[in-house]
């Protein structure tokens, strides 16, 4: 082979090597060299090849630097993940997590597990710590290899009742370690129970007037068909029962709408004195029928808060109406407003106070629950649905406000709405 031919071969091999390192840029350089080789006079191809190599030499380092950075990042990421300890990974889990060995002894427990179940020092036997039958069976099933993973429900009753969904499984293959993760289901169970109670109570409240109306209809179609006096009496009772059902349905719909609304703080300001004046005026006939006088005790300062006017009217209508109905023996109801300057916390407060029989202390924490009644017969006699204070609580929560109740038997009760500072 001639010297000229061997020079060409070496040049092409060098270009191919560069091409593998930087394909797009070198492809253009190689194309130029080949074109010159085919068309230019003898010797010109060597000049073109050298120029192409200079171009590659100038451009290739930037590409190589990028590659080095990518490779360094990949190495760093791999080393960082491998460098994480099992304790750090367990600590990052917010649910209680316990790692144990083939003897059922604790190897490691994260902070959430220690907070939920007390001290879990390494070496403690889980079969002695969790004595509930379902936990014993779950631990043994995993340890003895009957199942690779198992789930069960576990109830921890001390210091407060908590319901967990427990998953036990082996860690990897042939490690001799096992893990239990406790998923707290308490809130979900509470909501399910509350929903079931709500449906049962609502069904009961509707069933009673429906049964009454059905019975009177049957009587009117039978024995009292021609009894004018009985017919008028029964029709009046039926009208009252249907009105009660209508009020109950309205309150249920109102509560449902409130629960579906997002929690937000409206940008509109509402003057509480104007709202209370409107409420007192609308309830004047009810107060007169109950032989109750509604008194105002408003401060001279402004009492504007952020809120929805219609919802706040609903809050104070419920509170003032309850005070008139259940505190009527006291003969008066006092509605007072205090601005933020009168409160050390800077809150604006509205208090509705009656002077009736009061509320027993053990009932106060529960009066805002749905359908909770201190005296069911008295409540029904006053046309109550058992949902008024639950609606009040929901509306105040939407306004980032809260309700406090104080009462002494024989001295009446005071319901105070607290609006936070702006």
Please write down the HEC assignment for all residues of the chain: CCHHHHHHHHHHHHHHHHHHHCHHHHHHHHHHHHHHHHHCCCCHHHHHHHHHHHHHHHHHHHHHHHHHHHHHHHHHHHHHHHHCCHHHHHHCCCCCEEEEECCCEEEEECHHHHHHHCCCCCCCEHHHHCCCHHHHHHHHHHHCCCCCEEEEEEEECCCCCEEEEEEEEECCCCCCEEEEEEEECHHHHHHHHHHHHHHHHHHHHHHHHHHHHHHHHHHHHCCCCCCHHHHHHHHHHHHHHHHHHHHHHHHHHHHHHHHHCCCCCCCCEEEHHHHHHHHHHHCHHHHHHCCCEEEEEECCCCCEEECCHHHHHHHHHHHHHHHHHHCHHHCEEEEEEECHHHCCCCCEEEEEEECCCCCCHHHHHHCCCCCCCCCHHHHHHCCCCCCHHHHHHHHHHHCCCEEEEEEECCCEEEEEEEECCC
- At the top level of CATH, which class does the domain 87-184 belong to? alpha beta
Most confident option among 48-57, 58-67, 73-82, 114-123: 114-123
Position 128 scores a pLDDT of 92
Domain ranges of the chain: 3-83, 87-184, 189-260, 269-419
CATH of the domain spanning 269-419, picked from 3.30.565.10, 3.30.43.10, 3.20.20.370, 3.30.1300.10: 3.30.565.10
Lowest mean pLDDT among 89-93, 263-267, 328-332: 263-267
- Asked whether the predicted pLDDT for residue 40 surpasses 70, the reply is no
Most confident option among 19-23, 112-116, 209-213: 112-116
| Second-level CATH architecture of 189-260 | Orthogonal Bundle (1.10)
pLDDT bucket at 108, cuts 50 / 70 / 90: very high
pTM of the full predicted structure?
0.52
Mean pLDDT for all residues in the chain: 78
- Asked whether the predicted pLDDT for residue 65 surpasses 60, the reply is no
- Asked whether the predicted pLDDT for residue 273 surpasses 70, the reply is yes
122-159 tens-digit pLDDT: 999 999 999 999 999 999 999 988 778 899 999 987 77
Position 66 scores a pLDDT of 58
- Asked whether the predicted pLDDT for residue 32 surpasses 70, the reply is no
Rounded distance, CA 49 to CA 42, Å? 13
- Asked whether the predicted pLDDT for residue 92 surpasses 60, the reply is yes
- Please state the rounded mean pLDDT for residues 376-400: 75
User: Which has the higher per-residue pLDDT, 422 or 144?
Assistant: 144
- Asked whether the predicted pLDDT for residue 344 surpasses 60, the reply is yes
């Amino acid at each position: 082979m001639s010297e000229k031919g061997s020079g060409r071969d070496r040049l092409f091999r060098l270009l191919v090597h560069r091409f593998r390192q930087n394909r797009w840029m070198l492809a253009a350089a190689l194309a130029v060299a080949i074109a010159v080789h085919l068309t230019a006079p003898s010797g010109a191809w060597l000049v073109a090849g050298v120029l192409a190599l200079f171009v590659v030499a100038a451009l290739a380092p930037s590409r190589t630097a990028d590659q080095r950075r990518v490779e360094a990042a990949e190495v760093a990421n791999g080393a960082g993940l491998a460098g994480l300890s099992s304790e750090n990974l367990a600590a990052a889990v917010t649910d209680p997590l316990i790692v144990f060995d083939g003897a059922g002894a604790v190897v490691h427990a994260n902070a959430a597990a220690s907070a939920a179940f007390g001290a879990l020092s390494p070496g403690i036997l889980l079969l002695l710590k969790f004595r509930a039958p379902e936990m014993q069976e779950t631990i043994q099933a995993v340890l003895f290899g009957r199942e690779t993973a198992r789930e069960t429900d576990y109830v921890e009753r001390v210091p407060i009742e908590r319901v967990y969904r427990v998953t036990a499984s082996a860690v990897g293959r042939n490690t001799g370690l096992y893990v239990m993760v406790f998923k707290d289901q308490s809130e979900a169970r509470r909501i399910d129970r509350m929903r079931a109670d709500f449906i049962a109570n609502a069904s009961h409240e509707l069933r009673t007037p429906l049964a009454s109306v059905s019975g009177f209809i049957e009587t009117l179609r039978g024995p009292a068909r021609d009894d004018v006096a009985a017919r008028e009496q029964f029709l009046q009772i039926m009208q009252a029962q249907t009105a009660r059902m209508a009020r109950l349905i309205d309150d249920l719909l109102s509560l449902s709408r409130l629960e579906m609304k997002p929690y937000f703080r409206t940008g509109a300001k509402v003057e509480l004195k104007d709202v209370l004046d409107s409420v007192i005026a609308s309830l004047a006939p009810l107060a007169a029928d109950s032989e109750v006088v509604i008194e105002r005790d408003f401060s001279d300062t402004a009492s504007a808060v952020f809120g929805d006017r219609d919802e706040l009217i609903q809050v104070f209508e419920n509170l003032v109406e309850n005070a008139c109905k259940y505190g009527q023996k006291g003969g008066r109801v006092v509605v007072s407003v205090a601005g933020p300057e009168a409160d050390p916390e800077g809150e604006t407060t509205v208090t509705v106070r009656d002077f009736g029989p009061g509320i027993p202390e053990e009932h106060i924490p529960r009066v805002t629950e749905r359908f909770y009644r201190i005296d069911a017969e008295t409540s029904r006699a006053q046309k109550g649905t058992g949902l008024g204070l639950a609606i009040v609580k929901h509306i105040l929560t939407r306004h980032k406000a809260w309700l406090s109740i104080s009462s002494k038997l024989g001295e009446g009760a005071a319901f105070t709405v607290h609006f936070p500072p702006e």
